[in-house]
A and B are shown apart, each in its own frame.
Chain A
């Protein structure tokens, strides 16, 4: 079963608009972590934001925020005031598992294109 689901293969957004990238996850562990990474065309993986399963507040990092809805098992990334440089692949990831057996798994990604 897919642990991380990103249902939007591609998104097209006008510059300066806000954009939400969807991510749903599946786990039975009470303790887990959720991550978003950006992969520009150059190929490197850039960490954006993290949300722990016990965190009471939604994570924010500059223009990035994570809309964490635990009951729905969703962890959507919100990018405010999008910029041309935001065009990239975006991956949602989850770390789950017990001590000594944790692994980090990724979704299939969303390709975001920012139009001028």
Chain B
């Protein structure tokens, strides 16, 4: 049982490069989330989606874009990477409104921007 899978696990980018992080879940979850975690810090919500075709801004959305074209996938894009975006990125998914169960997390993507 795969759960939530993030691709890639590690990546080094040069300043100004672009990349897309892929999150895939096989649990038929409605909600999906992207977070970033800086050293010694909590998880900060970047963007989230409450269903296929929907996206919304979280706490720290600047510099990121997202898309949810298919229910099982949630993509996070960095158009022009900056050193301040060096972080560990987590994707999570959960059931929708009315089914208040926990969110399941991917293993994280460690991104370094040099």
Contact = CB atoms under 8 A, between A and B. Distances in A.
Interface of A: 6, 33, 35, 43-45, 47, 50, 52, 91, 93, 95, 99-109
A95 B108 contact: no
A91 B42 contact: yes
B50 A52 contact: no
A33 B100 contact: yes
A43 B58 contact: no
A102 B50 CA distance: 7
Max chain A Cβ within 10 angstroms of own Cβ: one of B56, B59, B92, B102: B102
A104 B56 contact: no
A106 B42 CA distance: 7
Nearest to B101: A50
Interface of B: 31, 33, 35, 41-45, 48, 50-51, 54, 56, 58-59, 88, 90, 92, 94, 96-98, 100-105, 107-108
A50 B94 CA distance: 13
Contacts, number: 63
A102 B97 contact: yes
15 contacts: A45-B92, A47-B104, A50-B100, A91-B42, A93-B43, A93-B103, A95-B94, A99-B98, A102-B96, A104-B45, A104-B48, A104-B94, A105-B58, A105-B59, A108-B42
B100 A52 contact: yes
Contacts of B105: 44-45
Contacts of B97: 99-100, 102
A107 B42 contact: yes
Contacts of B50: 100-102
A35 B107 CA distance: 19
